[in-house]
Structure 1
Amino acid sequence: MNEINSSWRCGKVGDICEPRKGKIDPKKEPSQKYIALEHIHQQTGRLLGVGDSKETTSIKAIFKAEDVLFGKLRPYLRKYWFAEFDGVCATEILPVVAKNGTDRKFLYYIFQQDKFIDYLDQKSFGTKMPRTSWKDISEYDILIPSLSEQQKIADILTSVDNAISKTQAIIEQTGKVKKGLMQKLLTKGIGHTKFKQTEVGEIPEEWRVESDFIKIKSGYGFNLSEYADEGVPLIRINNVKHGELDFDDIKFLPETYLESYHQFVLNENDLILALNRPITQKRLKIAKISKQQLPAILYQRLGKLLMDNSKYNQDYIYYYLQSEKFLEQLSATFVGSDQPFIKTSEFAKLRFSIPPIEEQNKIVDIFNSVFNKMQSEYTKLNHLHVLKKGLMQVLLTGKVRVKIDDHEAVTT
């Protein structure tokens, strides 16, 4: 424990809250709102949906509005929710009630701390299905400020959460706009009045249906022994997400490989496609390489897409590949069930609706404007998450104190 002000005291989680008692048999009770682990989003505290207790059969735990619900199963998943209504929940979720002298929202943020989650992860029992217990939760050491300071701390963190929620709502709405635009522009184009029926559906008369114009150049299978502590990033299949690269788990190769394996070196604007399990969560694992991500080398099970850029706007193809209609085509060609993969000979047979290059460029400009809006909001969202994490680290430990008369001012 760090040195604290005399108005704070050392304690444990069990000093400020307790489990809510009470369980029901849903077969014998009226229908109620039901929360399972899958209804709670990881790390954000967002509710993804609500079930009906009558559609379940096993015993459920009771919770009330403003209880803190915490997922005991795999606590590292960080499934927590500040209850907005009364209901029942799965027994793998623990509803806790703030004791007198404890602000409910302050308690909610205690359950979100990184050190708290790490502590529970270490204390978890069970190998395949690790879970925590109220005993371990209750014994976690915390610092407890006065009720008025708890409320001010909770107000500050809640204001950040509200900003996160608003930004997330903008992203979701922009995503819906993007999806609608993709469906319209990739099938109807811009300003057309005459259409024709084709093997990919109705398209403008001026458009054509093409296949076998994209070549896939696969990456190379480097050995683990070739990895280096630093050097050139090696782009592997787990780094390719839905429209972006993730560098959280990046490996490196010696810089000399840029010359000796030059044919696998990536360039700005290259399109990289996952060849194994290319579709997850109904979305394509594809990424476009930016200048900031270079230099980089391509690993096996990934393919670089090559085409004639004088006939095809690469960004148009990038968006087309992510459309629902194309994903249906692609899924039908998969080889294997457990680990479906793209066979290049089958990929060559896939059909694309292609406008004249001038219209491709206009469609891409529209898509890019929406994409840039989403990227701006994602950047804002990431900054807010970093801000919240930093504030929690200093406010919940007393390293930074809030003024009781003005919660927006802090002293160190």
Structure 2
Amino acid sequence: MKYKLSDICSFRKGKVEVENLNTKNYISTENMLPNKCGIIKASSLPSVALTQEYKNGDILVSNIRPYFKKIWKAKYDGGCSNDVLVFVAKSNTDRNFLYYVLADDNFFTYSMTTSKGTKMPRGDKTSIMQYEVPMIDLQTQKKIASILKSFDEKIELNNVINNNLPPHPCNARIAAKQRRQTPKPDECLHTDGKVSDRGSNEGAAEQFLSILAA
């Protein structure tokens, strides 16, 4: 069975005063990175008095040119531009699970298919909430999200190690070993719909992916 996206989440509607924001907690499509790579610091704040708010744990998705796959799970409260959609998980949905549902390539493809405009297509908010998602109980959602999150954390740690190693042959070998022991980004759910074959719980994640693809 399937849910509509509207059954498991909603759009946040609150506003926040721009004077209470800074370049770290203000998010726009410009400082969201493509291919699900998170965010960087904003270059400036908007000139308006109020803007869309988000809360810690919300899922932010750029609604301009969905094919860029810009998504971020908020780690603190802040504000964002109106071109960024803010998804809030409902009581029947784990927030991390919601992130992986929205980070799936199928969701971005759907958003692009139902978008409006040609030069700068925007996702249609009404259509987006009609997107079908698997009907999975909360406990299983948390288990799946925990498995997938552990893969992401290994990748993130590997990237941090590699980015901080000085150019030395020994360090190069260490980095290569880390890469072999860490799932590749294109083996994770939120890149191309695959999951790493490492770990003892890959069956649960693969089951989730097969449900998503059904």
Q: TM-score, normalised by structure 2?
A: 0.80
Partner amino acid, structure 1, of 2:30: E
Residue 67 (structure 1) aligns with: 58
Partner amino acid, structure 2, of 1:78: K
Alpha-carbon separation, structure 2, partners of 1:126 and 1:151: 37
1:154 aligned to which of 145, 148, 151? 145
Higher fraction of strand: 1
Distance 1:146 1:25, change over 3 A: same
SS at match of 1:390: coil
Distance 1:145 1:133, change over 3 A: same
Alpha-carbon separation, structure 2, partners of 1:13 and 1:383: 29
CA RMSD of aligned residues (A): 2.5
Partner amino acid, structure 1, of 2:187: V
SS at match of 2:158: helix
Residue 21 (structure 1) aligns with: 13
Residue 395 (structure 1) aligns with: 208
1:89 aligned to which of 80, 88, 92? 80
Q: Would the aligned equivalents of 1:25 and 1:57 in 2 still touch at CA under 8 Å?
A: no
Distance 1:127 1:393, change over 3 A: farther
Deviations 1:245-291 (A, max 9, x none): xxxxxxxxxxxxxxxxxxxxxxxxxxxxxxxxxxxxxxxxxxxxxxx
Q: Would the aligned equivalents of 1:164 and 1:385 in 2 still touch at CA under 8 Å?
A: no
Alpha-carbon separation, structure 2, partners of 1:86 and 1:57: 20
Corresponding position: 1:383 with 2:196:
no
Alpha-carbon separation, structure 1, partners of 2:182 and 2:41: 22
Matches for 1:230-379 after TM superposition, within 5 Å: 366=168, 370-371=171-172, 373-374=174-175, 377-378=178-179
Matches for 1:106-117 after TM superposition, within 5 Å: 106-117=97-108
Alpha-carbon separation, structure 1, partners of 2:31 and 2:179: 23
Matches for 1:200-239 after TM superposition, within 5 Å: none
Deviations 1:37-67 (A, max 9, x none): 2332222343322566xx3213521000000
Alpha-carbon separation, structure 1, partners of 2:64 and 2:180: 31
Alpha-carbon separation, structure 2, partners of 1:46 and 1:381: 19
Alpha-carbon separation, structure 1, partners of 2:206 and 2:51: 34
1:135 aligned to which of 126, 129, 133? 126
Alpha-carbon separation, structure 1, partners of 2:104 and 2:206: 8
Q: Would the aligned equivalents of 2:3 and 2:134 in 1 still touch at CA under 8 Å?
A: yes
1:41 aligned to which of 33, 36, 39? 33
1:124 aligned to which of 107, 115, 127? 115
Residue 198 (structure 2) aligns with: none
Q: What is the count of residue pairs matched by the alignment? A: 197
Deviation for aligned residue 1:90: 1.4
Q: Which has the larger radius of gyration?
A: 1
Gaps in structure 1 of 5+ consecutive residues: 1-8, 179-365, 400-412
Deviation for aligned residue 1:158: 0.8
Distance 1:101 1:158, change over 3 A: same
Deviations 1:321-375 (A, max 9, x none): xxxxxxxxxxxxxxxxxxxxxxxxxxxxxxxxxxxxxxxxxxxxx5x55555545
Distance 1:130 1:378, change over 3 A: farther
Distance 1:381 1:130, change over 3 A: farther
Partner amino acid, structure 2, of 1:161: D
Alpha-carbon separation, structure 1, partners of 2:20 and 2:184: 44
Identity of aligned residues (%): 30
Q: Which runs of 4+ in 1 moved over 6 A?
A: none
SS at match of 2:184: helix
Q: Of the two structures, which has the highest relative contact order with CA contacts closer than 8 Å and spacing of 6 or more?
A: 2
Alpha-carbon separation, structure 2, partners of 1:20 and 1:99: 11
Q: Would the aligned equivalents of 1:171 and 1:378 in 2 still touch at CA under 8 Å?
A: no
Q: Would the aligned equivalents of 1:120 and 1:132 in 2 still touch at CA under 8 Å?
A: yes
SS at match of 1:171: helix
Q: Would the aligned equivalents of 2:148 and 2:188 in 1 still touch at CA under 8 Å?
A: no
Alpha-carbon separation, structure 2, partners of 1:135 and 1:393: 30
Residue 286 (structure 1) aligns with: none
Partner amino acid, structure 1, of 2:139: S
Alpha-carbon separation, structure 2, partners of 1:80 and 1:113: 10
Deviation for aligned residue 1:376: 5.0
